[in-house]
Chain A
Amino acid sequence: MLSDNILRLEHVTMQLGGVVAVNDLSLEVNQGEIVALIGPNGAGKTTAFNCITGVYQPTEGKILFENNAYISTSPVIDPTPDEVTKMGIARTFQNIRLWKSMSVFDNVLTAKHMHAKHNVFSATFRLSHAEEKRMREETAELLKEQDLLQYKDDLATSLPYGLQRRLEIARALATDPKLLLLDEPAAGMNPQETRELGEFIVQIKEQHHLPVLMIEHHMDLVMQFSDRIYVIDFGRLIASGTPSEVQANQKVIDAYLGVSDNE
């Protein structure tokens, strides 16, 4: 029987230069869920993201999307990140990575490039005008929905920090994903902004019918807005479950209190 999970990691291990950054990690994200991946600094969360998105090829294990293995070590399936995105997994970055010389509008528009059917010839000589027009309309619509349309001609990097985060999410949405990965979306935000971001994520999930997997440090955000939580430490899964289950888990408390005292 097919389960309704969209993403499943099976025993994924990733060694980086002699360090086991992710160790035998298994997790799944189901349709309609917001799932959080948490853990102390250096626990291997971003490495896990980089495995899922094809930046790194895991040293062991496999990863399934809609029940199809798209990354695996035996047989070797090693897609490039753009192939993973094309398949339907979009991401944001921990340190915002917008295209700095481009306007807000072009940042989102360019993310639509990969699904376009034109080739370099027809695009250059404007033979696929309808396609370009469609892309522009969709971009405008997306920006409007995210309340960013008024900034469309501004340089992406001239936006205030919180809006840059939002723009990065809008750019990810422009790739028409089936799963959204957010890498520390609330980094550097105050409690007020963080709460707004949480509501924003829920809104995205409902509007776009989009399951979300996020890495986050802000416990308020994680506990309030996620359906399930995975906790990793030293690359290993130490707990998983609903927010209340995880909060009560002794291992989690130990990991956070023992390893880093700033959480």
Chain B
Amino acid sequence: MNLVPFLISGVSIGGQYALIAVGYTLVYGILRLINFAHSDVFMVAGLVMVYMTTSLPMQYALPIVVVATVALGFIIERVAYKPLRTAPRMSLMISAIGVSYLIQNLAYYLTGGLAKPVTNLIPWISDTITIFGQVTKRVTVITPILTVLIVIGLVALIKNTKIGLGMRAAARDFEAAQLMGIKINGVISFTFIVGSFLASIGAMLYFTNFPSVAIGSGGMPGLNAFVAAVFGGIGSIPGAVVGAFIIGICQELIKGLGASAFSDAFTFVLLIIILCVKPTGLFGEKTIDKV
């Protein structure tokens, strides 16, 4: 059996998961919140892409996708999470679920509930090429390279800039960072902006390979990416990326072995195993509860 095409698409899907997973891991690192709405932001990016590319030339359409997605991420944080800064964590998680529910229902209303076909593909990246004797789209090859480059850029940003320092401080000790004069709201907004930006890139790459975008399209890639973030050790950017590639490749290989019904279930089996064996994931730090 030839598994090479599945390996290639696995690496590609892994890259797309990584771009979503970083958004989860950044937010979790700072707010300790599973941002359930993140997969819906990803879905919205896909929808906006479909609408924009069919009505505007590419050079305008793509930046608009990015800007709209970033704006959505920013607004969600300001409206649904910021007012709950001092509330129990459960309230925050419930709010995230509420936002997810709201976005899906709004998207259903605005799109009429039908899956939107991806008709105007982004040129160049959707051309077919041949690699290792396999015919595939160029996006398959570009995705992992682009992902790695973006993540390296992100890590450099966090290491070397003032806002990056703020993010690291807030992730380490939220209250202390606040006391040290770090403008925590700015840092959190920036985190959501970065996460949504990556999700918009991920959506453009991901949906290029799909015939259509539907209301539920964000769900499975979102959950897979979240599992990748947990698997890698939530809060850790390299962890999220490594986890995403591992999950992407494993899923595609499972499909290659003829058990496609279980490619998503596999993710969750992996999740439950890792949570039970090493809850902090591959790269996560261990914490001790204070009594």
Contacts and interface: CB of A to CB of B under 8 A. Distances in A.
Contacts of B288: 16-17
A139 B279 CA distance: 40
B291 interface: yes
Contacts of A46: 291
Contacts of A202: none
Interface string B44-72: 00000000000000000000000000000
A70 B288 CA distance: 23
Interface string B251-291: 00000000000000000000000000000000000001001
A30 interface: no
Contacts of A93: 291
A55 B290 CA distance: 10
A17 B291 CA distance: 15
B290 to A, nearest CB: 9
Interface size class of A (residues with CB under 8 A): under 10
Contacts of B291: 46, 50, 55, 93
B286 to A, nearest CB: 8
A55 B291 CA distance: 8
A124 B291 CA distance: 32
A132 to B, nearest CB: 31
Contacts of A50: 291
Nearest to B286: A17
Contacts of A55: 291
A24 to B, nearest CB: 21
A50 B291 CA distance: 8
Interface string A1-32: 00000000000000011000000000000000
A22 to B, nearest CB: 14
Nearest to B289: A55
Interface string A196-219: 000000000000000000000000
A93 B290 CA distance: 12
A16 B288 CA distance: 9
A127 B288 CA distance: 42
Interface in A32-65: 46, 50, 55
A194 B288 CA distance: 32
A184 to B, nearest CB: 13
Contacts of A17: 288
B291 to A, nearest CB: 5
A17 B289 CA distance: 12
A93 B288 CA distance: 18
B269 to A, nearest CB: 29
A16 B286 CA distance: 12
Contacts of A16: 288
A16 B291 CA distance: 13
Nearest to A94: B291
Nearest to A81: B291
Nearest to A50: B291
B90 to A, nearest CB: 14
A55 B289 CA distance: 10
Interface in B115-164: none
Nearest to B287: A17
B115 to A, nearest CB: 46
A17 B290 CA distance: 12
B253 to A, nearest CB: 39
A46 B288 CA distance: 15
A46 B291 CA distance: 9
B48 to A, nearest CB: 44
A17 B287 CA distance: 9
Interface string B105-122: 000000000000000000
A166 B291 CA distance: 20
Interface string B19-52: 0000000000000000000000000000000000
Lowest 6 CB-CB distances: which A-B pairs, in order? A55-B291, A50-B291, A17-B288, A16-B288, A46-B291, A93-B291
Interface of A: 16-17, 46, 50, 55, 93
6 contacts: A16-B288, A17-B288, A46-B291, A50-B291, A55-B291, A93-B291
